[in-house]
Amino acid sequence: MVFDRQTLVIPDGTTIDEDCIQTKGDVIIGDRCLVQYGIKTDGRIFVGEHVIIDGDLFATGDIRMDIFTRIRGNVNSDQNVYLGEKVSVDGKLSVTGNLDVGDSVNVKEGFEAKGWINIRSPIPMVIYIFIYLMQLLKMGHSEEIERILEELEENEGEPIPISEVFLFVPSNAMVGKNSKTEGNLRVGKQAWIQGSFEVKGNVVLGDDTVFSGNITAGGNAFCGKHNTVKGSIQSGDVIRLDENTEVTGNVDGVKLNLAKTAVIQGTCYASHGMTFITPYDYEADEKIRRFEEDLEILEPLSDSEETSS
């Protein structure tokens, strides 16, 4: 699956009910997001800056939160927990492993950690480095400064690899009963989603998924096989419903591609017409789409490589 920072990704088998997101693999929440659910996963949870999460967090792996994030519930990890500066936890914090906290972290109902507890200095490390470099500059040790800066650039920190299956919420998105995102939405197979989604990009629903809510897409809206959408679908472009997919509400788009076994209980509106498609048609379309996505992630050839070829 091609990954980009603008796509809200909900993996296979995920359940979103009235108060909790239950999934498998890592969960990544971008900066300045609002999540009106708790989160439970067998992987790790990474939370960005200035995020608000209304429920509990539970992970069998690590939990990492960046600065000024607020959790309006409990936090429970079977591994380690890392809290950035000004993080607030309204409930209780329980850690089986180590606990690492920054300055001015607030845990209202207390915490329990069975491993090491590390409280970082309120003065950021960058301030120490700046003071040290200023002293070297006063002493005229410019070569030493250049060496230190080169070492810092080489050791900026390795990226943390995430699991093959993951849930990703892009920055500035809201996930709740009425979810909104500026990019795309991709839902995996055999998911159960409760709530409506307003998406400025494309929407793709995997096979055997139950979606209880309305879908509004600025781009295309594609529904896989054996899906049930308990609501309406509105799209600014093409809507495609594959075999044995049922929509209980209305369908409104520019063009409608409909499998012969699909069912729409409401009204249909397609300004550019409706087409009945066969399994061969949408399987061919899917192969073309995957081929084009693979091309998108290939790096362009350099001038020397183009010349040699």
- Residue 216 inside a domain? The answer is yes
Q: Which of 55-59, 152-156, 246-250 has the weakest average pLDDT?
A: 152-156
Residue 145 has a pLDDT of 65
Rounded to the nearest angstrom, the gap between the alpha carbon of residue 285 and the centroid of all alpha carbons in its chain is 26
188 vs 208: CA distance, rounded Å: 9
Q: Residue 189 pLDDT more than 50? A: yes
Comparing 170-179, 223-232, 270-279, 290-299, the range with the smallest average pLDDT is 290-299
**pLDDT at position 3:** 57
Helix (H) or strand (E) holding 179: strand 178-181
**For residue 304, is it within any domain?**
no
Cβ within 8 Å of residue 226, ≥6 positions away: 207, 208, 243, 244, 245
User: Which residue(s) pair with 83 in the sheet?
Assistant: 65, 101
What range defines the domain where residue 65 resides?
Answer: 23-119
User: 114 and 129, same structural domain?
Assistant: no
Q: In the predicted model, what is the mean pLDDT of residues 228-232? A: 97
What is the average pLDDT score of the chain?
A: 85
- Is residue 27 pLDDT above 50, yes or no? yes
Q: What would the pLDDT profile of 90-148 be if each residue is shown by its tens digit?
A: 999 999 999 999 888 999 999 888 888 877 655 555 555 666 667 767 777 777 767 76
C-alpha 275/C-alpha 100 separation (Å) is 57
pLDDT recorded at residue 164: 84
The whole-number pLDDT of residue 300 equals 42
Closest CA to 5 of 161, 172, 175, 219: 172
Region of poorest pLDDT, from 15-19, 35-39, 175-179, 292-296: 292-296
Q: Are residues 41 and 106 in the same domain?
A: yes
As for how many domains the chain has, the answer is: 3
User: Same domain, yes or no, for 192 and 137?
Assistant: no
The band of 34, judged by pLDDT with boundaries at 50, 70 and 90, is very high
CA dist., res. 39 & res. 57, Å (int): 5
Report which residue type is found at 257.
N
Residue 307 main-chain phi, psi, to 5 deg = -70, -40
pTM score, two decimals? 0.80
Rounded CA-CA distance 193/69 in Å is 25
Judged by average pLDDT, the poorest of 105-109, 207-211, 287-291, 292-296 is 292-296
Burial of 187 (0-12, 13-18, 19+ CB in 10 A): buried
Helix, coil or strand: residue 115: coil
Spatial distance between the Cα atoms of 230 and 255, rounded to a whole number of angstroms: 21
Q: What is the mean pLDDT of residues 154-183?
A: 84
Q: DSSP character for 225?
A: T
Asked if 94 and 198 sit in the same domain, the reply is no
Q: Is pLDDT above 70 for 149?
A: no
Rounded CA-CA distance 42/268 in Å is 41
Instruction: Indicate whether 108 and 132 sit together in one domain.
Output: no
Same domain, yes or no: 88 and 148: no
Kindly state whether residues 181 and 207 are assigned to the same domain: yes
The token duo for 139 is: 């002493």
Contact 61, 81 (CB under 8 A): no
181/288 same-domain check: yes
Instruction: Express as a percent the part of the chain with pLDDT over 90.
Output: 66
Residue scoring higher pLDDT (103 or 236): 236
Q: Is position 265 within any domain?
A: yes
